[in-house]
A and B are shown apart, each in its own frame.
Chain A
Amino acid sequence: MSKLKKWLVSAIALAMVVTAGCSSSSNNSASNASSGTSNAGSGGSASGAPVELTLWSSEMRSRDIIEKSIEEFNSSHEDIKIKAEFFEDEALKLKMKVAISGNEIPDLITYWSGETFDQLVANNMLADLTDMLNETPELKDNVLPGGLETFEYDGKYYGIPVLFSGVSLWYNKKIFAENGLTPPSTFDELLAVVDQLNEKKITPIAVAGKDRWPVLHWFSYLAQRIGGTEPFEKAKNNEADFTQESFVQAGELLKSLAVGHKGFVNGFLGLDYAAAESLFMNEQAAMYLQGEWAMEAFLEDPEFAANVGFVAFPAVEGGVGTTDIFHGGFGVGMAVSAATNKEAAFEALKFLVSPEQRVEIYEGPNISPMIKTGINESNMHPLAYEYSSFVSSNLGGYFGYYDQSLDAARSDKLMNAVGAIVGDANSNVVEELGKVK
């Protein structure tokens, strides 16, 4: 018995020594590495090993461009090596959850603003970028208004926006011209267009009802055009619910569009994103409400893209919301882990978010969150250029996606309520919206 005890004690002691040794050695290497960065200019620092930074990025579709920048960064910075890993959305969300619970997030992340980002900040896992931003005014002052505020918590900045997204109403120029239609600027005009298209047996609007959020976009735009952004802020903070006048009115209008005027494609509740998109792209539907990301598919078919036009979401007569307010926001930002070598990470961050490095991304189907973007019209498809300049010259403000701003439970209920309103002719708008609590 005593023999066993002795063994146990020595085993535990050994384990402690080993773990203590490990952690102290890793601390050493980190501090060595950071001194290496600061001494880089004078050359010949004590530790030769470069700082390795891992980046987890959600920007799968801009992957090649980002990898090119990273290569450039790595070859010009001997003491810092960035290693980027790109993930599909759902995969990254799951990985991030585990990484947060395991307290091992990567050095750099490109991630969505919203609930998970809040959680990262609340757990003190992200580095405060305020000082770094104040030292680099050329970066700080170049961000579009509202961009840094998206990642601001208690007066400190924790992220730098890399993408702006805005939803607009896309339409098929050819179908509109053939039928003598003009793109709608008010909701009543939209209903008139829908009726005329239906008369000619052309599907007016493609919408991915199965994914639910595309229908919610219609609802939130209508609610904003009617009552401005204030009602939603109140509802979000639980000061009022979704039975406020503007929401009910938005529900009624949406219902008259979907049910009364049969504006949405038949069976839209069963269509997923790709199917709805392909309806619009196969010229089987005349209109499509979607963010700038939809351009990615349009641009792959330049011939089709030439036929695509867009207008801001129509105004509603008597409503307070103006058409220069976009549904969207600074959805994706880059942040730095609190546990990393900050000096090196900031250096990498500044490089990667700079307009020079990201210009190719913004010349594609993306919108820059910066004032000076450096995009060159001659490198772009006319549609991409038009939309970029349309947003940057018209942007009077933006309001965030309802499903991302609300907590998960209410966001789910709201999407169900909107689904019921457009899907069931006998549904009661007030009753359905009242269920969102």
Chain B
Amino acid sequence: MRLRTSSKVIIYCILLVHLVLTGYPFIWMLISSFKTNKEYFADPWGLPSAWRFENYAEAWREGIGQYLFNSLYITAFSVIGLLAAAVLIGFYLVVRPFRGSKLLLAMFFLGMMIPVHSTLVPLFTISHNLGIYDTFWALFFPYIGFQLPLATFLVYNYFGEIPREIEEAAVVDGCSIYQTFFRIYLPLAKPILATVTILSFFNIMNDFIFPLIMISKESLRTITIGLMMFKGSFSANYSLISAALVLATSPILILYTLLQKYIQKGMVAGSVKG
């Protein structure tokens, strides 16, 4: 279908407005990050008098590098754990339904409705009692727990769409349940795993409340907490904060650009049961 030039122009105009609305704040942040704090307030819209790359060096020295690394590795391991759990649960519930498996599934879905904040105090107490407070594990388990309902839901529906005949054929050919999983279902699950990865990666990476409550020590603070520490009680060096923000958003931006096509697909995949 070919669009007429006039309607094309209108569409491009709308997109252009949208681009300005969403893109300009980022550009503004980028420009502000090169200013001095005084310039930031004196001339918020103009270009800096001198491009201060020192802001970036200073932001990095203040610990952005460490925070970013913490965020990335906590997120990466949590996502790996989440994928392993979700794919196994989804597979078993689809392939070997047992009495009460529907109930179990329903309980997973109920988990989606629990607000995170209502669980903070119990989780804090549990992590203290288990002795994992202020360690990597105090974030790892809650993250998997809270992302699991959605992930299970997606994987379960996705596996449900795969014709049962494939599994039957595998059994006839002599596959054990492990072989069925590793040779048939897991390779087929790649698209849905990509979706789960993207969704949960951004959720975990952007999370603020768990690292705040479960972590105290400097060496485990994530980027969301680290950015907050840039703002002092009564003073805030906004140009330095802007530089830190640019550094903090860039990995997400890069990831988003690379995975763009999966994100679009992922939004609809698994959401409709065929």
Interface residue ranges of A81-107 to B (CB < 8 Å): 83, 85-91, 94-95, 98-99, 101-104, 106
- CB-CB contacts of A41-61 with B at 8 A, as 1s and 0s? 000000000000010101011
Residues A95 and B234 in contact, CB atoms below 8 Å apart: no
Interface size bracket, B side: 20 to 34
A103 to B217, CA, bound (A): 19
Known A91-B212, A282-B42; contact A101-B225, beta-carbon cutoff 8 A: no
A103 pairs with B125, CB closer than 8 A:
yes
Q: What chain A residues lie within 8 Å of B232 (beta carbons)?
A: 60-61, 88, 296
The residues of A with any CB-CB pair to B shorter than 8 Å are 19, 22, 54, 56, 58, 60-61, 83, 85-91, 94-95, 98-99, 101-104, 106, 273-275, 277-279, 281-282, 293-294, 296-297
Give the interface centre of B38, B128, B232, B238 by most chain A CB atoms within 10 Å.
Answer: B232
- Nearest chain-A residue to B42 (Cβ)? A282
The answer to whether A278 and B231 touch across the interface, beta carbons within 8 angstroms, is no
A-B CB contact pairs (8 Å), 19 listed:
A61-B233, A85-B216, A85-B217, A88-B229, A88-B231, A91-B212, A94-B212, A94-B213, A95-B212, A95-B213, A99-B124, A104-B125, A275-B41, A278-B40, A282-B41, A294-B234, A296-B232, A296-B235, A297-B235
Residues of B within 8 A of A106 (CB): 216
Are the CB atoms of A60 and B229 closer together than 8 Å?
yes
Q: How far is the CA of A2 from the CA of B218 in the complex (A)?
A: 51
Candidates A56, A58, A101, A274; contact of B121 at CB < 8 Å = A101
Whether the pair A56, B216 counts as a contact (CB closer than 8 A) is yes
With both beta carbons as reference points, the residue of chain B lying nearest to A272 in the complex is identified as: B236
Tell me whether B76 is interfacial, beta carbon within 8 Å. no
Docked pose: A85 CA to B42 CA in angstroms: 35
A157 and B133 CA atoms in complex are apart in Å by: 30
Judge whether B234 and A273 touch: CB under 8 Å: yes
Complex alpha-carbon distance, A282 and B38, angstroms? 8
The CA-CA distance from A222 to B33 in the complex, in Å, is 40
Residue on B nearest A56 in the bound complex, by CB: B216
CB-based A-B contact count at 8 angstroms: 76
Most B Cβ at <10 Å: residue of A54, A91, A277, A294: A91
CA–CA, A95 to B133, complex, Å? 13
B38 touches A278 (CB 8 A): yes
A19: B residues at CB distance < 8 A: 129
Task: List residues of B whose CB falls within 8 A of some A CB.
Answer: 37-38, 40-42, 120-121, 124-125, 128-129, 133, 212-213, 216-218, 225, 228-229, 231-236, 238
For A26, the closest partner residue in chain B by CB is B131
CA distance A374 to B162 in the complex (A): 78
The answer to whether B229 and A54 touch across the interface, beta carbons within 8 angstroms, is no
- Determine whether the beta carbon of A88 is less than 8 Å from that of B228: yes
Q: How far is the CB of A119 from chain B (nearest CB, A)?
A: 15
Give the docked Cα–Cα distance between A58 and B217 (Å).
Answer: 14
Cβ-defined contact, A54 with B225, below 8 A: no
Q: A273-B234, A278-B38, A293-B233 are in contact. Are A102 and B212 (CB under 8 A)?
A: no
Is A293 within 8 A of B225, CB to CB?
A: no
Is B233's CB under 8 angstroms from A281's CB? no
Among residues of B, the one whose C-beta sits closest to the C-beta of A58 is B233
User: In the bound complex, what is the Cα–Cα distance between A277 and B237 (angstroms)?
Assistant: 12
Contact of B41 among A22, A61, A278, A293 (CB under 8 A): A278
CB atoms of A98 and B216 under 8 A apart: no
How distant is the Cα of A270 from the Cα of B232 in the complex, in angstroms?
21
Whether the pair A91, B228 counts as a contact (CB closer than 8 A) is yes
**Chain B residues in 8 Å Cβ range of A83:** 217
In the assembled complex, which residues on chain B have CB atoms less than 8 Å from the CB atom of A87?
A: 229
| Complex Cα–Cα for A54 and B41 (A) | 39
A106 to B217, CA, bound (A): 12
Contact in complex: A104, B41 (CB < 8 Å): no
Going nearest first, the 6 A-B pairs with the smallest beta carbon separation are: A278-B41, A102-B124, A101-B121, A293-B234, A102-B125, A85-B216
How distant is the Cα of A94 from the Cα of B124 in the complex, in angstroms? 13
When distances are taken between beta carbons in the complex, the residues of chain B under 8 Å from A86 are: 229
Give Cα A279–Cα B120 distance, bound, in whole angstroms: 41
CB-based nearest B residue for A59: B233
Q: Which residues of B contact A282 (CB under 8 A)?
A: 38, 41-42
Q: Which residues of A contact B124 (CB under 8 A)?
A: 98-99, 101-102, 104
- B236 & A281 in contact (Cβ 8 Å cutoff): no
